[in-house]
Chain A
Amino acid sequence: MTGRIMTGNEAVARGALRAGVKVATGYPGTPSTGCIAHLLTLDLPKRHVEWSTNEKVAFEIASGAAWAGHRALCTMKMSGVNVAYDALISIAYSGTNGGLVIYVADDPGVSAGMPEQDSRGFALMSYLPMLEPATPAEAYELVQRAFDVSEVTGAPVFLRTTTAIALGHAEVDAESPRAPAEIEPILEKDITRYTKAGSKICKDQHQASIDRLVRSGEYVQSMGLNRLTLASSEGGTGIVCVGAVNAYLPEALERVSMDAISLLEVRTTVPFPWDETQRLLEHCEQILVLEELEAHAERAVSVAAQQSGFSGAIIGKMNGPLSPIGEVGVTEILAGLNAAGLVLPQGSSESVSQSNAEGVAILPAKRPITVCAGCPHRGTYLAVDAAIQRAGFTKDDVMVTGDIGCTILGMNPPFDLLWNEVSMGSSISLAQGYVHAGVRTPVIATMGDSTFFHGGIPGLVNAIQHQVPMTLVVMDNGWTCMTGMQVNPGTHDGFQGGGRRVDLEAVIRGLGPDHMHVVDPFDLEATTDAVHLGLQSDGVTVVLAQRECAIQSSRRKVRVGTTTIDAEACILCKRCLNVTGCPALQIRESESGSPSMHIDFSQCTGCGLCASFCPTGAITHTVASKESS
């Protein structure tokens, strides 16, 4: 073998390098993170790679580079397209000069949270081609084709994977990178193309974007990206199989007779392969459409059938039996084949007598995820809870809005503090709505640092302008953590590459909240005081809780302190565990043979929060003498 094992994300990165990409930008988001993350591990002279402040910023940077004539890549998870779309549809109407590729990873089956949305809908709305590989090896190829389509037609082009491809590992034959083109940047002054100020301008651009999609359809057809294989005899079933599902179809077909099956392998729902579909309809008696999430291809097939007078059955999701929910694998394909009347061999239904979701007679133990041992958010949540109690309320009385990222884990036990999670930055604005609705108890919003830079600032500006009485708690741990510790604007200077840290505290102070408190979340008393003051105050209070992510500081061997438990003094009341839920706390037999609380020193960072709750003083905590964070 000549290839090497890589993820779909890395395959996209390497394909883009092979295509001579000049600028690559993105915002972290599972399952897409690995693409930019891989590029950032490489030494890439004459190229620019960055984690941008948010997906819209990332896309606009890539677009500027592409308008100037270079190849540019922008990456994001499906939710990121929602953020980037304001700019994206505008640039789609203008078109591009250099190849502009938007890499989006959808998450059918929801491995990481957020709406199970189908990004193909965005491609439809903006007349943008979208290439849909089925494997990492195809992703490597198709990202290169995406740059070609973009430059030949002038349309920005989506490359869409799904979780199992983006995070899946397989062998890919990746060739060496090609240097970006040595060209002078294009500075084209043409307000009819690059602005939107005028009815004629916008209508002409609308038409131009439609024309580009038509040209893309012709070009995609000439490349043979959508492959049609007709059965030797007419009649039978025609299968339209889209994107990721193509990786599983052969495995399912191994279990049925292939004789009368014709197949259209679709790698572009947009532009839809109309000609190939017409030929399939002319050849077959019925059509089975296999696609993940929404019935976009099925609707297109139905339109084609209506235009051509096809009267056979179209089997898919619109009239059942397939579902828009979750991933499509061999099981779902077999269900489709079954609905199409293809006889499945005995035992292929895998009818397992299931007594619960896991198909077993007994349930596994519940394992709700919580913040890591040593996570500074633990201190913040405990302090917010304590402040609510000090103000005379319980956490079931007080609206605490949540936001995206690790901070949302405050919704889980033992904290049970957060009520909702919407989108990056929405906790602040949502909280204002609750205040205006007349909620009589205090309203608190919570958010992490990367989320604040990404989408939180406009909401805070609004709260200050309109003098909304509320408390915002910003948990600043210096990194974008839930996606695997990426650099963000507030990350320490030493990790900024050629860039420089943006001072989060100065940004917030600059906005001018009515009250501001900067605290260390491991100082429970000070953090509780600060939040409590916010609950008592008019106007906007911001509590900025600053302490680096425990995973990141542990990697650099930075210790907060040392925490030990005297097993003899421990009465096993479990209060430390009950209150903090820290994963480093365990119950073990001590040397005397009786069980007591123990600390797993492979996880403990010595934050000392557990010691604050020990009623017998069995837990002692000493702050590290030389702490550098």
Chain B
Amino acid sequence: MKTCDMVLVGVGGQGIVTLGDLLARAACAADVPIAFVPTKGMAQRGGFVKVEVRLGRAGGGARIQEGRADVIVGMERSEVLKGVRFLRPGAHAVLYDHVWEPTGVMLGVDAYPARDRVLAELSDRAGRVVVLDPERRPRLGGQPAAANIFTLGALSGCAPVREALDPRMIESVVVQRWPKATETNLAAFHAGLQMGREAPDHGFSQFARKAPS
């Protein structure tokens, strides 16, 4: 059985812990051993969130060693940097390129990393980088689809994930979880899945707004 270690990072409220839960349900349905652990500090909204997900290892611990993750996912441009130290050489990095500015940045007292430097950091350290433009989320009825399901699709399309867990299993737990939002969630998942699969093996995908300078 293939193993796949994933580290998902972002900000509380983006639905990252939900992604861990969906992957766990899908793995359970597919008979793939799963362990995951969320790290979110305190209950308040807006803080750093990390979820470690491990597929294919029975009875092991949920923590992933630094330098050993097969895939990292960042759902916020600055927070993705906190996942970089987990990347193994050649690993996949997925960035949902949303900016959630902390108050100190809005006030001009704290720095926010420049986009080209974040992308350069990812491309230096990952074998493959998929950058998802939030504007490319499918829109149904005028509303953009859920960012976390869009990102989940892209994650599911990355080779280490889809070789360990069939994306169709992930898709079916998404449908089961929100039966009233099937259409919009499937659109988001499939759009992400295609981007996750088709991004070039090296460097940046075409799903970025622009390549790093």
Chain A positions within 8 Å of B, measured between CB atoms, are 1, 3-5, 30, 111-113, 134-135, 137, 163-165, 167-171, 244, 247-248, 250-251, 327, 329-331, 350, 352, 354, 358-373, 406, 409, 413-414, 481-485, 551, 574, 577-578, 581, 583, 585-587, 603
Interface presence of B140 (CB below 8 A): no
Name the B residues within 8 Å of A135 (CB-CB): 35, 59-61
Q: Could you say which residues of chain B place their CB within 8 Å of the CB of A165?
A: 61
- Contacts A352-B85, A365-B104, A587-B101 aside, 10 further interface pairs with beta carbons under 8 A come to A30-B42, A112-B41, A163-B37, A168-B36, A247-B60, A365-B78, A365-B102, A369-B41, A370-B44, A482-B42
Contact B67 A352 (CB under 8 A): yes
Residue of B nearest to A138 (CB): B59
* Residue B46 is within 8 A (CB to CB) of chain A in the complex: yes
A interface SS class: loop
Are B59 and A360 in touch, CB under 8 angstroms? no
**Shortest distance between the CB of A584 and any CB in chain B (Å):** 10
Is the Cβ of B61 less than 8 Å from the Cβ of A369?
no
Please report the C-alpha to C-alpha distance between residue A482 and residue B44 in the assembled complex, in whole angstroms: 7
- Do B28 and A111 have beta carbons less than 8 Å apart? no
Question: What residues of chain A lie closer than 8 Å to B66, measured between beta carbons?
Answer: 331, 350, 352, 359
A to B contact number (C-beta, < 8 Å): 174
Q: A170-B35, A248-B60 are in contact. Are A5 and B24 (CB under 8 A)?
A: yes
Q: Are B38 and A350 in contact (CB under 8 A)?
A: no
* Count of residues in B whose CB is under 8 Å from the partner chain: 54
Does any Cβ of A come within 8 Å of B48's Cβ?
yes
B144 beta carbon closer than 8 Å to chain A? no
13 residue pairs A–B, Cβ–Cβ below 8 Å: A5-B24, A5-B34, A112-B42, A134-B61, A165-B61, A169-B21, A247-B62, A248-B63, A359-B85, A367-B11, A368-B102, A373-B45, A413-B103
Of the candidates A168, A365, A581, A603, the one whose C-beta lies within 8 Å of that of B111 is: A365
Task: Please tell me if the beta carbons of B68 and A366 are within 8 angstroms of each other in the complex.
Answer: no
Q: Of B112-120, B146-154, B192-200, which stretch is located at the interface? A: B112-120
A574 and B61: CB pair below 8 A?
no
Shortest distance from the beta carbon of A602 to any chain B beta carbon, whole Å: 9
Task: Given A354-B85, A367-B47, A370-B46, decide whether A360 and B103 contact each other with a Cβ distance below 8 A.
Answer: no
The reply to whether A164 and B111 form a contact with Cβ atoms under 8 Å apart is no
B82-109 to A contact mask, C-beta < 8 Å, 1/0:
1011000000000000000111111100
CA–CA, A330 to B63, complex, Å?
A: 9
Q: Which of B1-56 contact A (CB under 8 A)?
A: 11, 20-21, 24-25, 28, 31, 33-39, 41-48
Q: Report which B residues bind A (CB closer than 8 A).
A: 11, 20-21, 24-25, 28, 31, 33-39, 41-48, 57, 59-63, 65-68, 78-79, 81-82, 84-85, 101-107, 110-114, 117-118, 121, 125
Least distance between A476 CB and chain B CB atoms (Å): 18
Find out whether the CB atom of A244 lies under 8 angstroms from the CB atom of B104.
Answer: no
B34, A170: Cβ atoms closer than 8 Å: yes
Among B33, B41, B46, B47: residue with most chain A CB under 10 A: B46
B113 x A369 contact (CB < 8 A): no
- Which B residues are CB-close (under 8 A) to A583? 45-46, 103
Give the distance to chain A from B11, nearest Cβ to Cβ, in Å: 7
Ordered nearest first, which 5 A-B pairs have the shortest CB separation? A247-B61, A350-B67, A359-B85, A168-B37, A168-B62
Out of B31, B36, B106, B113, which one reaches A363, CB within 8 Å? B113
A370 touching B82, Cβ below 8 Å: no
Q: Indicate if the CB atoms of B37 and A362 lie closer than 8 Å.
A: no
User: Which chain B positions have C-beta within 8 A of A369?
Assistant: 41-42, 44, 46-47
Asked if A330 and B65 sit within 8 Å, CB to CB, the answer is yes
- Chain A residues closer than 8 Å to B111, beta-carbon distance: 363, 365
Chain A residues contacting B61 (CB-CB under 8 Å) are: 134-135, 164-165, 168, 244, 247-248, 251, 329
State whether A577 touches B107 (Cβ < 8 A).
yes
| Inter-chain contact A250/B63, CB cutoff 8 Å | no
Contact partners of A360 in chain B: CB under 8 A: 81, 84-85, 121, 125
* CB contact under 8 A between A367 and B107, given known A164-B37, A170-B35, A171-B34: no
Given contacts A164-B63, A364-B79, contact A406 B113 (CB under 8 A): no
Please determine whether A169 and B104 come into contact, CB atoms closer than 8 angstroms.
no
Bound complex: CA A112 to CA B31 (Å): 33
Q: Which residue of A lies closest to B39 (CB)?
A: A111
Say whether A331 contacts B65, CB under 8 Å.
yes
Instruction: Establish whether residues A365 and B112, one from each chain, have CB atoms under 8 Å apart when the complex forms.
Output: yes
Cβ contact within 8 Å between B43 and A485: yes
Residues on B with beta carbons closer than 8 Å to the beta carbon of A368: 102, 104
How far apart are A56's CB and chain B's nearest CB, in angstroms? Answer: 24
Tell me the bound Cα distance from A201 to B24 in angstroms.
54
Q: Does the CB pair B103–A370 fall under 8 Å?
A: yes
Known: A112-B42, A134-B61, A171-B28. A362 touches B67 (CB 8 A): no
A409 in contact with B85 given A137-B59, A248-B61, A329-B65 (CB within 8 Å)? no
- Inter-chain CA distance A164–B67, complex, in Å, is 19
Q: From A361, which residue of chain B is reached at the shortest CB distance?
A: B121
Give A103 Cβ to nearest chain B Cβ, in Å. 18
Q: Which residues of A contact B47 (CB under 8 A)?
A: 367, 369
Kindly list chain B residues whose C-beta atoms are within 8 Å of the C-beta of A366.
102, 104, 110
Assembly CA distance A140 to B57 (angstroms) = 19
How long is the Cα–Cα vector from A141 to B117 in the complex, in angstroms?
49
A484–B62 alpha-carbon span in the complex (Å): 22
Contacts of B118 on A, CB cut-off 8 Å? 362
CB < 8 Å: which of A171, A250, A484 contacts B33? A171
Shortest CB-to-CB span from A162 to chain B, Å, is 10
Given contacts A248-B63, A365-B101, A481-B43, contact A168 B35 (CB under 8 A): yes
Residue in chain B with minimal CB distance to A549: B43
> Closest Cβ of chain B: how far from A250's Cβ, in Å?
7
> What residues of chain A lie closer than 8 Å to B105, measured between beta carbons?
365
